[in-house]
Amino acid sequence: MIHSHRRSWMTYSLIMVVALILPPLYGTLAAAAVYFVATNGNDANACTTAQNIGTPKRSVALGLLCIQAGDTLYVRGGTYNETIDGSRLPSGTSWINAPVIAGYPGESVVLTASGTWNDIITLSGSTRYVIFKNLILDGQGTAHNGVNNPNNSTDHIRFDTVEIRNFWNQGAYVQTSLGGYEFLNCNVHHIVANGHQSANQSQGLYLGNSVLVDGGQYHDNSGYGIQIYSGNYPAQPTNNNIVRNASIYNNGQATGSGGGITVGGDNNLIENNRVYSNLSTGIKVSSGSTNTQILNNTVWNNNGSGGIYVDAVYTQLINNNVYQNIGGDIIYG
């Protein structure tokens, strides 16, 4: 009997401990919420009402005011003539609790804007750990950038399966020393100068520091498909970038003055990409670069200065398949 009472007391104690632990844990998990925006929605709906898929808000801008770290804003299918102001975005503290702005699964969501200096997504302030997913950014041939971080202060922004098309300056302009940007399985194309600048300056991605590009397609841009180079003054670092598993083709449409990838800075990795049919160089390692690794890429049918053009010290070329490039396969400057 004494042993039975002891076991009962131990069981009761265990239950009390679990009871004390579970409410905070449950509260943490329950804090994440889902909100909806749709073209047939109503901006008069409260945020709590917009948590129901049947009573969404109408505008993305007002939907953004509902979400906090860890929440998801689902945008239903359709075209939204809106831009996203980064100052309205909440920040997460890691990818685990990053707020997500996403097209609803299986539906096509287009954010569009016209006007010479409009950017669809402007990231400013100290915004960090935000995820954009399953969206189409369309500049209609007249808008400035698909993505822009004008004050170089944001970090850890992820674009997952995002299409960026028809802008005249850059598909995404990411010049920041803080880094942590990610482009995963994105499709960036037809970034074509529209008389506002030199045609070869319109790139698919214009990258700064510590950016990951993994998968996706970068094609039919008038400059480079991907440019790793600092155009800021004072210059931002362009180090520790990774471009891998991507298809980069038909770039350099502006009289062949661009190409596939151009690399500047220190300790950048170009790995396992397919780089082909660009009107200028396939992969260019610019003068002043250091410690560039070009590994396991397939590079063919490029024009200009060849398949891979190296004009920098401490560059490793390992296990690349380079052939049938009009300007030569591997050229050392």
pLDDT of 323? 97
User: Closest Cα to residue 159, out of 105, 217, 101?
Assistant: 101
**Is the CB of residue 243 less than 8 Å from the CB of residue 270?**
yes
For residue 295, what are the β-bridge partners? 271, 318
Name the pLDDT band for 6 (thresholds 50, 70, 90): very low
Q: What is the rounded (10 degree) CA torsion for 21, 23, 25, 30? A: 170
Residues 11-26: tens digit of each pLDDT: 444 444 434 444 444 3
Question: Domain locations in the chain?
Answer: 1-30
pLDDT of 177? 75
User: Closest Cα to residue 283, out of 291, 271, 275?
Assistant: 275
Q: How far is CA 217 from the centre of its chain?
A: 12
**Is the CB of residue 138 less than 8 Å from the CB of residue 108?**
no
Eight-class DSSP state of 266: B
pLDDT of 21? 42
Give the residue, 236 or 331, on which the prediction is more confident.
Answer: 331
Residues 109-149: tens digit of each pLDDT: 999 987 778 999 999 888 999 999 999 999 998 999 999 98
Gyration radius (Cα) of the chain, Å: 24
Q: Range with the lowest mean pLDDT among 35-44, 201-210, 241-250, 317-326? A: 201-210
Q: What is the mean pLDDT of the chain?
A: 88
Encoded tokens for 200: 């070869």
Percentage of residues of the chain with pLDDT beyond 70: 87
- Integer Cα distance of 56 and 50 in angstroms: 4
Instruction: Please name the residue that has the structure tokens 């062949």.
Output: 256
Q: Range with the lowest mean pLDDT among 16-25, 187-196, 259-268? A: 16-25
Q: How far is CA 185 from the centre of its chain?
A: 9
